[in-house]
Every structure is written in structure tokens, then in C-alpha cells.
Amino acid sequence: MKANVDAKLHENEKNLTINKKVFNLIYQIARTARPRQWLKNLSVFAAPTFLGVLFDPITLALSIKAFLVFCAISSGAYFVNDIKDAERDRNHPVKRNRAVASGKLPIWLAWIVALLLFVFGFVYGYLFIGTFFTAAAVFFIVLQIAYSFYLRNVIILDALLVATAFIVRVFAGGIAAEVSISSWLILATIGLSLLLAFGKRRSEKTLMENPDLEGQTRKTLRYYPDTLLDSMISMSSAFCIISYSLFTFQTSPQTIGTGLATILPSILSSPKWLMLTIPIVIYGVARYLFVIYEKKEGESPERVLLSDTPLLSAVLLWLVAILAIRFLLPAF
């Protein structure tokens, strides 16, 4: 009897250990997928949102499907990136804790997960969205792999590739929703993505001021002078604000609802309402610059967005204002 009890206890402990290992493995896979980075993929909603058709049932469904595809393939790209950089990440004060670099996620399993995510993204995109969207997704993956294996080590071009990835997301969202995309929206996206890319490198240089760590994680950091980064950040900030301002001028709703029209004076019957969001964008850009230069926390833009309350508040206020102007004003 005692032997049976001991055997059962031993079996339960063994099962518990296996369950813990499986749970830990799933957790490490989820970490490597970088769910926080999926915020970038929200840009697929940009074109239908600014055109005021996002909440059309068909358009919304296609946009959500496009978002899911880009979440899958971008996560697959992060697995490939971590496999490629595993050795180098071990010398980084933060990245050494990544699942692949720390050995918590086997490299062979990381390759399998990456392949499954890519296959899912391509097949799902082709079956439920369309050929042109799938081509954009393939191009996005090619960019990501080229960036991870070579282009990230080419000064300036590395930042331009980051900007291109954002543009591909916006275009893919427009293709999925079957809507046109404003040239000014693309230009504003370029300005914002360049700001994030150069700001990220500026913060990385600040983090790597330790002579023992400098240049061990990103080769281009040693070739980026502070003055060059500061100039590019200033240029990108101005470019982003000006392009966005012109975009709001060109794409603001032409009319408002009949209810508001009876209340407001005639001069406000067809104003450039989206231009009201320009001060919010200016504040958001200025706050991000403050985070880079004073708080020195711009190495991870998505972490900054979620942790810096003033910046997050500005982004949420901007989103609410855009939705209200595009969807509520014409209907009120």
C-alpha cells in the first residue's frame, strides 16, 4: 500500500514538473513574440480611419484580419532576429535576458515557431484578404530578414529600413481595406518612423556609454556621432509635424452633421477640423524628445508609450479626437 502511495506521489511530482516546464516554455515563446511590439501594427488601421470608413463592417473585418497577419509575421521576424543575435545579446545589459539568448528557449524550437508564424500569416492573408496584401506581407518579411542579417549594420540605411517597415504596414492596411492612401499620410508616417528610429539609436548610445559595452550589440552605434543623430532627430521631428499638418489640411471632413450646422456659425460649417489635432501631435513629439534627452528611455518606443503617462495620454487624446472628428461630426 505504501509503495503504491509513494509511486503515485512520485508520478504527481513528475507530472507537475513537466507541466511547469511546458508552461515556462509557452511563456518564453510568448515573450519572444513581443506582444508589446504589436502596437506598431495598429498602423494598418490608419488609411480606413482617416477616410472615415473604418467602421464599415466589411472594412473593419478586413482591417482586423490584416492586423492579425502582421502580428503573426512580425513576431516571426522577432524570433529570427533573436536567433541571429543570440550571441551578441548575451553582452547586452538588458537583451541578455531574452529567451533565446539566455537559453530558456532552444534555438531549434524558435526556428519552428518562426516558420509556423510565417506560414500562418501568408496562408491566412492569401485566403481571407487577397493576393496584393499577401505580396505586401512577403515584402515586409523580406525587409525584416534583410535588416536582421545585414542592413541593420549599415549606418543611416538601418533607420530608413525601419521607416520603410512602417510604410509597408500603412500600405498593406489600405490594400486590405481597399481604400486609397493619402500621400501626406505616407509622408507623415515616414517622419514619425524616422523620429522613432533615430531616437532609439540616440537612447541606445546613451545606454551604451560604458566603454566595456559600447558597440557590442549594434555595430552602427560606433559610427553614429551624437551630432548626426541630434540633427536627424530634429529634422525628423519637423518633417513629421509639417507633413501631418498638411495632411490634416488636405483630408479634413468637408461637412458636418445637420445638428451641428444649426448651432455653429456658417463660417464653421466646413472648417479643417482635423487641424485641431496638430497641437496634440506637437506635444507628443516634444514629449518624446524629452524622454530621449532627459529621461534617456527611448531605446524601446513601445515601452515608452506604455510607461510614460503624459505621452500615453497625448496619444489617447489624439485617437479620441481623430475618431470624433472623422465619425461623430459628420453624423451629429
State the pLDDT confidence band at 1, using cuts at 50, 70 and 90: low
| Distance (Å) of CA 270 to CA 261, 265, 326, 329 | 9, 10, 13, 11
Superfamily of domain 37-181, CATH level 4: UbiA prenyltransferase (1.10.357.140)
**Distance (Å, rounded) from C-alpha 324 to C-alpha 274?**
10
Q: What is the pLDDT of residue 46?
A: 93
Per domain, the residue ranges of the chain are: 37-181, 183-209+222-332
Q: What is the pLDDT of residues 215-249, one digit of tens each?
A: 455 666 777 788 888 899 999 999 999 999 999 88
172: closest CA among 133, 114, 201, 217? 133
Q: What is the pLDDT of residue 215?
A: 46
Residues 252-288 have pLDDT tens digits of 655 555 555 555 555 555 567 888 899 999 999 999 9
Q: Whole-angstrom Cα distance, residue 137 to residue 176?
A: 11
Distance CA 15, CA 2 (A): 20
Segment 23-40 mean pLDDT: 90
Least trusted range by pLDDT, from 5-19, 22-36, 262-276 = 5-19
For all residues of the chain together, what is the average pLDDT?
A: 83
pLDDT of residue 122: 94
Report pLDDT for 128: 94
Residue 306 makes CB contacts below 8 A (sequence gap 6+) with 36, 39, 312
Closest by Cα among 130, 121, 168 to 146 = 168
Contact 105, 32 (CB under 8 A): yes
What DSSP line would sit under 20-44, residue for residue?
A: HHHHHHHHHHHHHH-GGGGGGGGGG
The distance in angstroms from the start CA to the end CA of the chain is 78
How would residue 138 be classed by pLDDT, with cut points 50, 70 and 90?
very high
pLDDT at position 135 is 96
91 CB-contact burial (10 Å; exposed 0-12 / middle 13-18 / buried 19+): middle
Report d(CA 109, CA 43) in Å as an integer. 30
pLDDT exceeds cutoff 90 at 57: yes
